[in-house]
Structure 1
Amino acid sequence: MHGGGSTGTAAAQHADRLAWALGLTTAYMVAEVVGGLVTGSLALLADAAHMLTDVGGLALALLAIRFAAKEATPQRTYGYLRMEVLSALANAVVLLLLTAYILYEAYQRFLAPPEVLGGPMLIVATIGLIVNLISMKLLTGGSSESLNVRGAYLEVLGDMLGSIGVIVAALLMMWKGWVLADPIIGAGIGLFIVPRTLGLLRQVTHILMEGTPANVDLGTLEVKLKAIPGVTAVHDLHVWTVTSGFDAMSCHLVVEDLSNGRKALQEARRVMKDNFGIDHVTIQVEDETLRNAEPILHV
């Protein structure tokens, strides 16, 4: 028997904020690329690379929300809810690739430091810091509810710290004439976000592998289901995440008397919703006879 769940996503609740952040980030990314080319600063270009992933991540997040709103079909019974997870995966991979390139470029510049214009670099980085702080404020609320919003938030966080790094590099070059500050800060910007990106990548992989959600203790869940009056056993118990904010569960409940199966099912659904926040459940109610019956083979 099946209990339906909402097809909404956590990211959809923050679509307007994502759109505002996308507009701000895109406008500043263009300015930062121009500034990096004019000043010759790797730190600025590295920050611009992170801004590019922000633009891609935010655009993918909004695209995922659009697809997630589509109705399910016989071919895609969950609709396009997994688009959010796939876009978060793409964000993480692209960011890691860009980081590798930035580190390579930093190595080349460390061997032969080019001339960098510190003054214009400082102005561009200061504007970037302001833009990133505004974007972070817009995305803070949704970062704990949606993988896509979390991915975008982490990228903006990296850019905010990157802007601070660029400001530091510009000041060091202007006051101390230390030209190596630019490639060192550029490499630092690339390295800073790697652990957080790997964490996001682990989360996405866990969902795609249909692992048990972090907020669900499967042992506790099984104990609560077995405590339902009339239930003698629970087997084939699975809990997984379809997309952020949408978990699902399926299991077999073994009952003493099938005439009490309806009550056991209702109680199981209540347990899932009240204790674990899951209302999308698929439960088969059976007695020991059905449990031990030989499977029917179709040729």
Structure 2
Amino acid sequence: MGHDHSHSAAQAGRKKLIIVICITSTVMITQVVGAIFSGSLALLADSGHMFSDLMGLCVALVASIIAARPASDRHTFGFRRFEVFGALINSVILMVIAVTITIEGIRRLITPSEVEIQSVLMLVVATIGLLANFISLRILRPAAKQTINMRGAYLEVMGDLLGSVAVVIAGLVILVTGFPLADTIASFVIAAMIAPRAYLLLRDVFRVLSESAPQDTSVAEIRKHVLEVPGVVDVHDVHVWSITSGLPVFTAHIVVEPHILEEGRAGGLLDTLDRCLSDHFDVAHSTFQLEPNSHASHEDQLHA
């Protein structure tokens, strides 16, 4: 049932991505046309941001499709890590777009544009983008809690939403006060909102690819729980990592009392350990090597 639920959730996530891709494509084209006719750098920056997000959403869609493929003899954990690769590409795209917007904004400050900004058109197009991004955000929000890949897609749309808010405010300022630099300032605000999101996503990707223990997982706490299981004498060579976000993996060597193995109770102990990891730490995939003291005493000393 757990596998079926996960598969259904993945399919639902892909359908949501396709809907959001269609919305983003339409709004991006609208913003490009609006930027050309209004002369707004902020609107053009936001359309560029949406283009990068469109690419990121497409990458996320492809990654989710690949990740759904079953495990094989060569890829024994399956292809779920492709979701992490998708998130990596997304984070790099976000970084590049933030730098590009910043450079163009500085150029506008150094050499102010003589093009008159059509604030009404700018405001109308930005409002359309704001509403579309809000709808996309609501569509992706449930799926964003399931995988790092969908979280990356969600963050990209969140950035689009905030970017649209900045453009709307800039359009209002220009319309009311006639202050054209509000457009350039809005482009800097968009870049400033993109960079932290890209950093946080890249940080999460690095944690997975470096096989660090998940942020909310305490190895010491897991060891404590395992040692409390009747029949367990010691636990060492502990490893906890993630295949992708929300899919932690645990392995350990468990030293047990001699009578556990002599009486054929190893199977029951393994069931207890599996339940311990699953119930207390939400670890669905765990592997234990049961061993007597006589074996543990001559193992390599570099155990965790």
- TM above 0.5, one fold? yes
The answer (yes or no) to whether the contact 1:238–1:249 under 8 Å persists in 2 is yes
The answer (yes or no) to whether the contact 2:64–2:149 under 8 Å persists in 1 is no
Equivalent-residue separation in structure 2 for 1:93 and 1:68 (angstroms): 20
The answer (yes or no) to whether the contact 1:11–1:148 under 8 Å persists in 2 is no
The AA in structure 2 aligned to 1:209 is: S
The answer (yes or no) to whether the contact 1:146–1:244 under 8 Å persists in 2 is yes
Judged with a 3 Å threshold, the aligned counterparts in structure 2 of structure 1 residues 255 and 20 are, in CA distance, closer, same or farther, namely: same
Equivalent-residue separation in structure 2 for 1:6 and 1:235 (angstroms): 30
- Equivalence map 1:90-239=2 (5 Å): 90-114=89-113, 115=115, 116-239=117-240
Match of 2:286 among 264, 267, 281: 281
Shift in Å, 1:11? 4.8
Equivalent-residue separation in structure 1 for 2:3 and 2:209 (angstroms): 20
Judged with a 3 Å threshold, the aligned counterparts in structure 2 of structure 1 residues 106 and 294 are, in CA distance, closer, same or farther, namely: closer
Shift in Å, 1:142? 1.9
Task: Give aligned-pair identity as a percent.
Answer: 38
1:224-256 CA deviation, whole Å, 9 max, x = no partner? 111111110001111111112221111111111
Shift in Å, 1:104? 0.5
Question: Mean Cα displacement is larger for which, 125-134 or 164-173?
Answer: 164-173
Equivalent-residue separation in structure 1 for 2:242 and 2:217 (angstroms): 11
Runs of 4 or more consecutive aligned structure 1 residues displaced over 4 Å after TM superposition: 5-13
Q: Which runs of 5+ in 1 are unaligned?
A: none
The AA in structure 2 aligned to 1:198 is: Y
Corresponding residue number in structure 1 for 2:295: 290
RMSD of aligned residue pairs (Cα, Å): 1.8
The AA in structure 2 aligned to 1:83 is: F
Corresponding residue number in structure 2 for 1:65: 64
Shift in Å, 1:88? 0.4
Shift in Å, 1:193? 2.3
Corresponding residue number in structure 2 for 1:75: 74
Shift in Å, 1:93? 0.9
Secondary structure (helix, strand or coil) at the match of 1:102 reads helix
- The total of aligned residue pairs comes to 291
Equivalent-residue separation in structure 2 for 1:168 and 1:11 (angstroms): 37
Corresponding residue number in structure 1 for 2:55: 56
Equivalent-residue separation in structure 1 for 2:118 and 2:230 (angstroms): 75
Where relative contact order (Cα < 8 A, 6+ residues apart) is larger, the structure is 1
Secondary structure (helix, strand or coil) at the match of 1:293 reads coil
Corresponding residue number in structure 2 for 1:271: 276
The AA in structure 2 aligned to 1:17 is: K
Equivalent-residue separation in structure 2 for 1:178 and 1:46 (angstroms): 18
TM-score (norm 2): 0.90
Equivalent-residue separation in structure 1 for 2:249 and 2:299 (angstroms): 28
Equivalent-residue separation in structure 2 for 1:214 and 1:25 (angstroms): 32
1:23-81 CA deviation, whole Å, 9 max, x = no partner? 10111111112221222211011111221122122211211121112122222112211
Q: Which runs of 5+ in 2 are unaligned?
A: none
Secondary structure (helix, strand or coil) at the match of 2:74 reads coil
Secondary structure (helix, strand or coil) at the match of 1:113 reads coil
The AA in structure 2 aligned to 1:105 is: E
Shift in Å, 1:275? 0.9
Judged with a 3 Å threshold, the aligned counterparts in structure 2 of structure 1 residues 205 and 149 are, in CA distance, closer, same or farther, namely: same
Question: Mean Cα displacement is larger for which, 88-97 or 66-75?
Answer: 66-75
The AA in structure 1 aligned to 2:106 is: Y
The AA in structure 2 aligned to 1:176 is: T
